Structure 1
Amino acid sequence: MNEPMSGGRWGALRTADVARESGYSVQQVRDLEKLGVIPAAARMGNGYRAYTPLHIHALRAYRGLAGAVGPVVARKLLAELRTGTITEAASAINEVHVRLAREREEALLAEQALRAIQTEADTPEFEQDSDAMTITELSRALGVRPSTLRFWEQEGLVTPERVTSLQARRYDLSAIRTARIVAALRNTGYGVPAVRAIVDSLHRLDGTDEALRILRERLDHIALRTVELLRAGTDLAAVVAADQDPTAG
């Protein structure tokens, strides 16, 4: 995409100019201004909006962020970038990269667990106590609350062992693998009934194909979201830099 038109060279930018340069429609530009995605435009003597190149950068940045983390989070993040320091802005953007990397790692671990399940029928495993986790350890490993694991247990998704004397939950290697798959599927947006059906099918010879397909689709989707975030990089930098310079705009 071409660089935004210079406000100094072209004068105030019209709504149509901003729409053309940002890839949004005229109505979308107005709607996003109302939502606070971009700063309110100044008004010219005739009452028409007067935009600047910063508005184009902000709209392009929003497009990339919305593709990476969704429109609600993108609006909140852009608002934070405009009010925080440059250190806070850099930290907020870095956190999005970390979040995507974490989601990718989670999906890869679930895929590894699924492939391990595929081989269990032919390669019996004798699991050691060192392979087991408590509910606290597993919740930390998955990034979920212990109450979430208890809910999954109630729904028949993940079944732990228990220490008889204390009735404390203990998850063996098989349960840990299943929990990783459940976490990945739930984060993909699958409801409990669909996840239960997939989990119930895992030990069938042909039952893992659907779960593998879903996990591959999730990895592809995370990759696309990462590209959207990278595409927004230059425009995000322009927004942050302008907000640190009161004379910019």
Structure 2
Amino acid sequence: MADGNALRTVDVARESGYSVQQVRDLERLGVVPPAVRSSNGYRAYTPVHVRALRAYRGLAGAIGPVAARQLMADLWTRTVTEAAATINDVHIGLARERDEVLRAQQALWAIESEAAHHGAAGVDDTMTITELAAALGVRTSTLRFWEREGLVIPERVTSLRARRYDASAIGAARIVAALRGSGYGIPAVRDIVGSLHSLHSLEEGDGPERVRRILVERLDRIGARSVELLRAGADLAAVLDSLTPARA
């Protein structure tokens, strides 16, 4: 493939690893900019189209195909500076997911410690519903839904019944968030969280071991997604190089 030469659809398919129909579909969805049409109506692509399709593949592995399609389509409307910030946000998002799973592991340790010593073992301060939602990256309505489902029970203070979460509730919320992020439905989460607070389950080790295994698997998946994002790095850089420079 020589830079500066127009590429046919079949050339782009071969170089990117997609089928000819997939190349056309991804162009239609805005993952790559529209190809120039020659006088005879055939599409004429450039090497940037190939790099964009490769970048999309890595992004799809990192954040999912739907989000990746939306992100790539948005990049073509941005300046280099704006697009670079968007990609940086993806890295930050993965780092935040990892941090939340690590905090869930700490919360699991606190629950086990509390059961073993029959005392409080929290290290977090109390939080309002707004503070906890922001810490977990969820909406306050999500926390209220978890409350209705019996997954996370806050304290209530003042005549306005404002919610405030103590260390135990914060720990439970972190574990619930990690389980939901791992794809577990509400009934399964209720079963798992319930087993954590069952002394019989704690003695058998089933509840904590099950959560511990889920959290480790989630960390592994986040690590694999981070590798996919890094693998897309050079191709994303090529896409950004083709964009409009930052405005003065």
Task: Give the deviation of 1:113 after TM superposition.
Answer: 0.8
Tell me the distance in 1 between the aligned counterparts of 2:30 and 2:8.
18
Q: 1:163 to 1:244 in 2, by over 3 A?
A: closer
Matched, 1:144 2:138: yes
Q: 1:126 to 1:13 in 2, by over 3 A?
A: closer
Matched, 1:174 2:151: no
Corresponding residue to 1:62 among 56, 64, 68: 56
Partner of 1:48: 42
Q: Percent identity?
A: 69
Asked if the contact 2:59–2:65 (Cα under 8 Å) also holds between the matched residues in 1, the reply is yes
Matched, 1:96 2:90: yes
Q: 1:242 to 1:113 in 2, by over 3 A?
A: same
Tell me the distance in 2 between the aligned counterparts of 1:38 and 1:179.
40
Partner of 2:115: 121
Task: Give the deviation of 1:48 after TM superposition.
Answer: 2.9
The SS at the match of 2:243 is helix
Q: 1:45 to 1:147 in 2, by over 3 A?
A: closer
Tell me the distance in 1 between the aligned counterparts of 2:35 and 2:154.
58
Matched, 1:20 2:14: yes
Letter of the structure 2 residue corresponding to residue 194 of structure 1: A
Asked if the contact 1:15–1:51 (Cα under 8 Å) also holds between the matched residues in 2, the reply is yes
Matched, 1:6 2:2: yes
1:178-221 deviation digits (Å, cap 9, x = unpaired): 11101111122221111111111113222122211111111111
Tell me the distance in 2 between the aligned counterparts of 1:61 and 1:169.
44
Partner of 2:65: 71
Q: 1:33 to 1:161 in 2, by over 3 A?
A: same
The SS at the match of 1:108 is helix
Q: 1:19 to 1:180 in 2, by over 3 A?
A: same
Task: Give the deviation of 1:45 after TM superposition.
Answer: 4.2
1:56-79 deviation digits (Å, cap 9, x = unpaired): 011001111111111222122212
1:135-157 deviation digits (Å, cap 9, x = unpaired): 23322322223222221111000
Asked if the contact 1:127–1:172 (Cα under 8 Å) also holds between the matched residues in 2, the reply is no
Letter of the structure 2 residue corresponding to residue 56 of structure 1: V
**How many residues matched?**
239
Tell me the distance in 2 between the aligned counterparts of 1:201 and 1:227.
34
Task: Give the deviation of 1:93 after TM superposition.
Answer: 0.6
Asked if the contact 2:29–2:73 (Cα under 8 Å) also holds between the matched residues in 1, the reply is no
Matched, 1:158 2:149: no
Q: Which runs of 5+ in 2 are unaligned?
A: none
Higher deviation after alignment, 102-111 or 29-38: 29-38
Partner of 1:243: 243
1:106-125 deviation digits (Å, cap 9, x = unpaired): 11101111122122221232
Letter of the structure 1 residue corresponding to residue 235 of structure 2: D
The SS at the match of 1:243 is coil
Task: Give the deviation of 1:227 after TM superposition.
Answer: 0.9
TM normalised by structure 1 equals 0.88
Q: 1:102 to 1:221 in 2, by over 3 A?
A: same
Task: Give the deviation of 1:168 after TM superposition.
Answer: 3.1
Tell me the distance in 2 between the aligned counterparts of 1:174 and 1:30.
52
Task: Give the deviation of 1:54 after TM superposition.
Answer: 0.9
Task: Give the deviation of 1:166 after TM superposition.
Answer: 4.9
Partner of 1:194: 188
